[in-house]
Structure 1
């Protein structure tokens, strides 16, 4: 499927015409669940996960066969404001580590049986400093969105998108502040592990960034002005997945902030997504609450890369293994069905 957008107006039009889940498949899956060899509701949220997945895939007895993990990397001009404990060179170094299979997300993707792809977006050319003006031009954000769109494999049936980008928790905090308001300190955390003075400086930078881009209120404009190339690519991949009716498990604060830009433009744009986990980054739980997303896992993670989303893949795979593989009462010859 061609991206079909060359401007943010084109993309906004795409967002107004999104596919819905298959109601008949969802109902058939619900009927099947009621006949399985277990008391009603005995598998708790696993049952809800299975029905959600079956509805989006249009199959009453669906299984995950081609999960995909995509990590996008980008660099941020706002790093010059001293918002990170690490220099921007680390982004490229970590991309090499992903490509060599040495990062945490590589190991988790392997356990989940997921294909993993890595896309570095113009690392030698950081985005603009959001504390003084927009991160990207319209052409730049469209190019990043299209990279994400095109990165989703045709056979993918469950998607996690992750990121790497020194300074990107600053962008995520600014996006959350612009979309949902409040105080900068409510959305700003220590990211890579900055000290108290660094946190105060970062909080001030987040507030200045939103003020410097006060004209951005629509979600896509917020993404252009306050995001990064990797955040835009994640949003593009999440939108492509919706067009393909592929369920998505959101990762941490940065991924969720990128996704929130779609929701900020078109309510319901994230109906095909669930929160894989809630991270230790303080703004993440608040952002999930604003989006109405109940996390599957809570493990104190704050690494990013897609790690929490990939861990949740295993829960969804298990939910579907039970839903699609269990016998019904009649098949098993068990009384009580």
Structure 2
């Protein structure tokens, strides 16, 4: 797991915007996450600024002009680099932009693309051989231009460690909250989501948005069943059981579930159990075996295997990391 918090200085975050046309929503999302002092939520101090190849006035996609003071040299000194939507796909990024991104990554920065910003990241060659995503409207074009990239059109984001690609528009929120959760823990990400008034995690992927909007699950019987399941994760929750509570056949329930959430009941339950486990690991002293029981994993061994596969670390290492981060944050706030 990459640890970006540096104890003796703020985490430097730079958002790369195009000289010709700036994706204002993506810039706004990055600013919302990184431009405010949210150390009271358990986050580190951030030093945030937009960056462009030729500093000065740039035009946004809303028609407004904005002044960008920092050039590409700031990217190389950054801990996190985000790349907003590249509004002019007919205009390739300059060699200087691509070199700066490569240098930032080589130095150790985490580089995150939002929406069509994946085209910029793909043009660096850093995504070759890796799985990546972009807005579903552009996934075919991304795959055609960069055949070495394994494009996944269905997901909200793809995490490759120090390279993260996000899907379209609002998926930038999901992507950056995922980064916050990965680096500073579920408690910090959940608290940030509350301040932003957004869900801390959306299940499923962008496939659910391609043909029709997602049903408001919380307004129907299916939503009530999901709420019940979240409160009974320790139980043996099968599709048959959930279908009975929803007054549906298992086949109809599975179909309705996928249409409403974009994922399967099994995958949704796994996500809920892992999230519950993270909260217990961060906020309680319960042994790993007890955590496994409380969130519905059959055995501690199975829990450890699933947790390590999805989170990249063992439950014990996760607890040590985020307990340490929480203690450090408490010390910083007390100071």
Q: Which has the higher contact order (CA 8 A, sep 6+)?
A: 1
Common topology (TM > 0.5): no
Normalised to the residue count of structure 2, the TM-score between the two structures is: 0.37
Normalised to the residue count of structure 1, the TM-score between the two structures is: 0.36
